Chains A and B, each alone.
Chain A
Amino acid sequence: MKALLYDINLCIGCEACVDACKEENGLPEEPRDRLSATSFTYLTDAGNDQYYRHMCMHCVEPSCASACPVGALQKNEMGPVTYDYDKCIGCRYCMVACPFSDPRYEWESNTPRVRKCEMCKQRTLEGGVTACAEICPTGATTFGDRTELIATAWKRISEDPDSYAPRVFGTEEVGGTCVLMIGPEKILEAAIPGNLPDTAPPELTWAVMERIPAAVGIAGVSLLGINWIIRRRMSLAAQNGNAAEHSSTASELGQEEDL
């Protein structure tokens, strides 16, 4: 599985990645200060010549792909989380589901698409490198094998422990991401949403979904069983006593207590 490694300490804020992204995806110049339907990555200036990058994190177990009722969003085994407009019905559950609130929508369009970074799928699925990693002049954004990039990241951290927090963001968080991030603790904290779940969110829903067949079976059999018992008791009651009186008792009063 491929991934991107973003190193906050190497980033000089030149925005070459932003321009390359816009060109690769045919997006207009503006906006470049936030994610939007026409902006898939941008940089935040954290002061002191430090910057951090925003983009789709390409989760290993993506909430959006799990949420999508038609499989328009898919996790490719090569790494990218891709989007298929022809399937999309526009329910926007992916946007609600994303733990990073990344997917954007073409609100002004009558044929709206969900828009986000797709890790240059037209390049990477053919064995190429993303536009942002290719252009980056300092090597702050690099593209490669996820396992190897994690090793590279730890090597940089151990060589310069004063400049790096001792963690590679994206190894474990939300079940792992294919955009890894390293840098000083303060900047990392600003770059990452505060209350990310530790485990992959799709597992939370799957734990419920996988019980459905059994639940339907148990509920169905129980309802049939209860119905059989009630009918039998009613017919026994009707046989025993005065049938007419009993049935009127049952229909007018008796049942309330049975509940």
Chain B
Amino acid sequence: MKALSWMITHPWRVIGALVTLGGLYGAYLRFTQGLGAVTNLSDAFPWGMWVGFDVMCGVMLAAGGFTISALVYIFQVKKWQPIARPAVLTAFLGYLLVVGGLMFDLGHPFKVWHPLVMWNHHSVMWEVAWCVTLYTSVLAMEFATFVFEKLNWERLARIFHHLTFPLTLAAVLLSMLHQSSLGSLFLLVPGRLDPLWYTPLLPFLFFVSAIAVGLTMTIVESNLSARAFGRCIEGPVLQSVAKVAAWVMGFYAVLRIGDLVQRGALSELWPLDRAAGFFFAEIILGLLIPLVIFSYPHFRKNTRLLNRGAQLAVLGFIIHRLNVGITGFEVVAGKTYTPAWTEIAVSLMLVAIGVTAFNLAGRYLPIFETEDPERTKIWARENKRLAGLEFSRASSAPDPR
């Protein structure tokens, strides 16, 4: 009885446990019998969910690390300081999970280090391998700062504090390279990828979308952690994040749609098939709707709507990457790919591990600026004020500043 009531009050933990069990079963099959036993991959679909989601989306979802820290430490947006550490933590865990996911997907996980020694500088994959390795190391050093602080190892903490700027610079440059290169991977296949997704702009689109997700994922993450830790949400900060996200996403939308029109690719949408459905989900649900929400101060100031908009935007960019990696290949191949349940279970297990690790790090490491009661008080007042004015004439009210 007691166990049952615990399960009802903690539904997410139950789901997390089930997902992890499924994932462990998938892992067992994967490492004993090979990829064929756990995946729906085939010679026609050599890449599926583990590349499309775990790697391509994983790297994108972790983009907040370089986006926010670039704005805070290079562009000196001091106001955003409180969200920098959570973003770096998300990025560090995200990249660890990307590497973890890669261990499932690679045919020879124990040869994962080969690209560092056996060079082919013509290969985009080689460049991605190097950048991800280096950037994960950079993130590990940023993460180490939090640990040193926690342990009160003052000298080391001070040394690493001085490294913040060079590390951030390295983070931005490395991210610029591999975030765009995930798009460049597909430049090689003009004949195999549907024109709705194949464009010479792919590297550029991937980089801009990484920045957009870096911003919007921060909003999502902040809402989640506020709930998990019973913390006050950084309302005013998140609104300015959304404002910047609106500019970035607007720029992306112009690029994306302008490119489709200019190449005459929109004619591919007829007849309305599976690919067209994924396309509309990507563009309307995941790009235009959140763009509208972020663009109007009136919507932006509604904390709940802002969170929903950010979730939609993140979802939309996830769909874009899945479309580039999977849907776009279905059209030319004349076959469809749907992940096996074991593939999904492994991917969700990685997400569950990430959430748990974030939870633990958030509890035991100096990630959130809870030590500043003044600032928390200001946020709480702001949030309350904004919540009360939802959908009223909030935008015409005098600016709180």
Are A and B subunits of one complex?
Answer: yes
Give the interface size bracket for B toward A: 35 or more
Query: Which of B187-225 touch A at CB < 8 Å?
Result: 187-192, 200, 203
* CB neighbours of B140 from chain A (8 A): none
* Residue picked from A63, A67, A91, A92, most chain B C-beta under 10 Å: A91
Bound CA span A99–B329, Å:
12
Give the A interface residue count (CB, 8 A).
64
* CB neighbours of B77 from chain A (8 A): 255-256, 258-259
Query: Which of B44-97 touch A at CB < 8 Å?
Result: 44, 46-47, 70-71, 74-81
**B187, A108: Cβ atoms closer than 8 Å:** no
**A70, B118: Cβ atoms closer than 8 Å:** yes
Query: Which of B86-128 touch A at CB < 8 Å?
Result: 105-108, 111-112, 114-115, 118-128
Selected from A99, A234, A253, A259, the residue in CB contact (under 8 A) with B189 is A99
A111 within 8 A of B: yes
B336 within 8 A of A: no
- Number of residue pairs across A and B with beta carbons under 8 Å? 195
- Assuming the contacts A92-B46, A208-B184, asked whether A216 and B34 have C-beta atoms less than 8 A apart, the reply is no
* Residue picked from A63, A71, A219, most chain B C-beta under 10 Å: A71
**B76, A231: Cβ atoms closer than 8 Å:** yes
**B36, A108: Cβ atoms closer than 8 Å:** yes
How far is the CB of A161 from the nearest CB of chain B, in Å? 29
Query: Which of A212-259 touch B at CB < 8 Å?
Result: 212, 215-216, 219-220, 223-224, 226-227, 230-231, 234, 250-253, 255-256, 258-259
**A111, B120: Cβ atoms closer than 8 Å:** no
Q: Nearest residue in A to B35 (C-beta to C-beta)?
A: A107
A110 within 8 A of B: yes
B332 within 8 A of A: yes
* CB neighbours of B33 from chain A (8 A): 108, 110
Q: Nearest residue in A to B184 (C-beta to C-beta)?
A: A208
Q: Nearest residue in B to A248 (C-beta to C-beta)?
A: B78
Query: Which of A61-117 touch B at CB < 8 Å?
Result: 63, 66-72, 87-93, 95-97, 99, 101, 103-112
How far is the CB of B215 from the nearest CB of chain A, in Å? 11
A196 within 8 A of B: yes
**A110, B187: Cβ atoms closer than 8 Å:** no
A193 within 8 A of B: yes
Bound CA span A230–B75, Å:
7
**A255, B76: Cβ atoms closer than 8 Å:** yes
Q: Nearest residue in A to B47 (C-beta to C-beta)?
A: A96
Bits for A17-42, please: 1 = Cβ < 8 Å to B, else 0.
00000000000000000011000000
Q: Nearest residue in B to A199 (C-beta to C-beta)?
A: B190
A202 within 8 A of B: yes
* Residue picked from A205, A209, A234, A259, most chain B C-beta under 10 Å: A205
Q: Which of B9-17, B168-176, B314-322 contacts A (4 or more CB under 8 A)?
A: B168-176
Q: Nearest residue in B to A216 (C-beta to C-beta)?
A: B173
A195 within 8 A of B: yes
Query: Which of A200-214 touch B at CB < 8 Å?
Result: 201-202, 204-206, 208-209, 212
A197 within 8 A of B: yes
B37 within 8 A of A: yes
B185 within 8 A of A: yes
B301 within 8 A of A: no
How far is the CB of A31 from the nearest CB of chain B, in Å? 12
Bits for B237-256, please: 1 = Cβ < 8 Å to A, else 0.
00010011001000000000
* CB neighbours of A92 from chain B (8 A): 46-47, 107
B43 within 8 A of A: yes
* CB neighbours of A105 from chain B (8 A): 43, 46, 107
* CB neighbours of A103 from chain B (8 A): 43
Bits for A157-201, please: 1 = Cβ < 8 Å to B, else 0.
000000000000000000000000000000000000111110001
- Assuming the contacts A71-B120, A220-B173, asked whether A109 and B401 have C-beta atoms less than 8 A apart, the reply is no
**B35, A91: Cβ atoms closer than 8 Å:** no
**B401, A101: Cβ atoms closer than 8 Å:** no
* CB neighbours of B262 from chain A (8 A): none
* CB neighbours of A104 from chain B (8 A): 43
**A256, B47: Cβ atoms closer than 8 Å:** no
Task: Apart from A112-B108, A230-B75, A259-B75, list 7 A-B contacts with CB within 8 A.
Answer: A35-B43, A63-B188, A108-B33, A108-B37, A110-B34, A202-B188, A209-B122
**What are 8 A-B interface contacts by the 8 Å CB criterion?**
A67-B188, A68-B123, A91-B125, A112-B34, A209-B127, A219-B173, A251-B78, A253-B79
**Interface residue ranges, B against A (CB under 8 Å):** 31-37, 41-44, 46-47, 70-71, 74-81, 105-108, 111-112, 114-115, 118-129, 165, 169, 172-173, 176-177, 184-185, 187-192, 200, 203, 240, 243-244, 247, 329, 332-333, 401
